[in-house]
Amino acid sequence: MYRSFTETKFLCYKACLGSGIDVGRAQDISAGATSIGAYENSFFGLFPALITAPENNLHLKKNLSSRIAQFENVSAAQNGSFLVDCLQSTLFSQIHISVLDNAMLLAGICVHLAPELNVTLTINKNLAGRFFQNKVFADMRCLNSEKVEFVTLGISDNSEDELHELKPAYSLFIDDDTWKEIEHLAARTYVAENAESRIAGAGAGLTDND
């Protein structure tokens, strides 16, 4: 079924909260997912598993080269915002990742958070994507892998069009089963509809004073 960008972004945001993700990252993840989902709608089938994955703590390797960070395992949902922040702060110009659970979501977070940067993403030494000024240049077959290895996320001055610019869809096609799964996660944020919950402050209260 076709969904609007607004309803998809909001439902993904609520699903992130229902999965225990904090508000700030939930906003980044939902916006990034909606941005990149416009180029490959099938991505949403992976979304529930990405946001409910076990907690993943980043471990920065020692003996780093200047302005290059190295990480073993990266979760796009849990760590993506932090990695983009590192690039924006100029703390690092390149980030090397041994294993990344989903390149699509990381790409979406880059598009959302850092449109001012010319960010490149390589997978196993192959250029998979470039993101700049809300434009996406990508090899979708390479980018749309569920789990990838030997990933480099970096800032590039190269403006050559080595990849084709992709055109986003105007609406999102998300199948009913996937939508229901995301709705199920979002429902964890809802409270019971009863007098006790209203007394505690849920809803519009018990009386109508209009």
Would you list the domain boundaries of the chain?
2-155
β-pair partners for 121: 129, 153
- What are the structure tokens assigned to 208, written together? 């109508």
pLDDT in tens, 87-96: 999 888 899 9
pTM over 0.85: yes
Is residue 108 within 8 Å of residue 33, measured between CB atoms?
yes
Distance CA 62, CA 27 (A): 31
pLDDT in tens, 26-53: 999 999 999 999 999 999 999 999 999 9
pLDDT in tens, 154-172: 998 776 667 899 999 989 9
Nearest to 107 by CA among 67, 182, 50, 183: 50
Is residue 174 within 8 Å of residue 46, measured between CB atoms?
no
